[in-house]
Amino acid sequence: MSSKFRFTLIASFATSMVSYASLSNAQQSSDSMVPNAGLYVGVGIGANSTQFNGQTLSGTGLTTDTIAGRTASGIGSGETGVVFGPAKSISPSVQIGYFQKFQDSSYLWGTKFSYSYIGGSPATTYNVQLPQYGTFPNGKPLTGGDAVTSSYQKSITNQISLIPYFGKSLEKGMIYFGVGPTYSQVRSTTNGLVGYAQIDGRTVDVSGAPQSFIASQWVYGGAAMLGGSYFIDKDWFLDLSYTYAMTQNKTSNRISPFSNPPTTGFLIGSSTGTAAVQTIGLTLNKLF
């Protein structure tokens, strides 16, 4: 999602909220459908756009060659940047929250705890090459080869948020803004990795058969939310919100042995980067 499109989307959303507030204020009577306080539970869906930023992928090969009874060990490693396009998805979500008006005021405070299964298709890039540089202990260079992966994928599967918010009640609803922490499960998948090396002018398949890796970890982050609610009656309301969430930059590691006689060893990899998730969500909520 481009910056221009994102700005237009946010501006349109904010304009709608302001127009809704102005209309409701003009029509407001002494009896608001918004109670003085309420605990609520809701279910709904969200439209998500996830952009993975600052992504790097690194790989290291630890090798041991045993030929004619003699053993030689070596190491090769390299790193490269990875660029992804946005990943789009539709997610189910649930939330539980509480709000309360300030005494003798239409202003209110609240907090909501939300869970979304973002899932969807992962962001994918193909034919990633990791240049490998290293040496054997006897000084023989191990250079010029690449570790090559057929595809590399990133996704956010689950996201939890806790958003305190401040808002204003209207005749038939409320508008609000909040910020708070998130906790997201980030999944990294490396498919078809093969380690090559240039030895004595030849390109050698060092690691043998292609290998695949999956790494999953939970990371902290933060989110800002802008929303508005419309009360169908005093027990049920619709909640529409726009959320921009950013995860922390955390390294994900993986390791796997390989055997490609006369060579054995380990393939070691890591990845870093952040994820920005934009969500427009709609939930149906029950007040208690």
What are 255's two structure tokens?
A: 């390791």
Encoded amino acid at 14, one letter: A
Query: Could you tell me how far CA 168 lies from the centroid of its own chain?
Result: 31
Helix (H) or strand (E) holding 237: strand 236-247
Residue positions counted in the chain: 288
The confidence score (pLDDT) of residue 27 equals 41
* Sequential pLDDT tens for the chain (288 residues): 554 545 455 555 555 554 544 444 434 434 679 999 999 999 999 999 999 999 999 888 787 776 545 555 667 677 889 999 999 999 999 999 999 999 999 999 999 999 999 988 899 999 998 877 666 556 665 555 678 899 999 999 999 999 999 999 999 999 999 999 999 999 999 999 988 877 667 777 888 899 998 999 999 999 999 999 999 998 999 999 999 999 999 998 888 898 888 888 888 888 999 999 999 999 999 999
Per-residue pLDDT at 131: 78
Instruction: Work out the widest C-alpha separation in the chain, in whole angstroms.
Output: 94
For residue 90, how many other CB atoms are within 10 A of its CB? 11
Task: Write down the pLDDT at residue 147.
Answer: 85
User: Which contiguous run of DSSP H or E holds residue 11?
Assistant: helix 3-27
What does the pLDDT read at residue 24? 43
Q: Which two tokens stand for residue 185?
A: 């499960």
Give me Rg for the CA atoms of the chain: 26
Question: pLDDT at position 146, please?
Answer: 79
Inter-residue contact 48 to 91 (CB < 8 Å): yes
How many whole angstroms separate alpha carbon 208 and alpha carbon 194?
Answer: 7
Burial class, 214, CB count within 10 angstroms (exposed 0-12 / middle 13-18 / buried 19+): exposed
Q: Which residues partner with 19 through β-bridges? A: none
**Residue 25 confidence (pLDDT):** 44
| DSSP of 99-121 | EEEPTTSSEEEEEEEEEEE--SS
CA–CA gap between residue 107 and residue 175 (Å, rounded): 10
The alpha carbon dihedral of 159, 162, 166, 170 has a sign of positive
The vertex-174 CA angle with 171 and 178, nearest 5°, equals 165
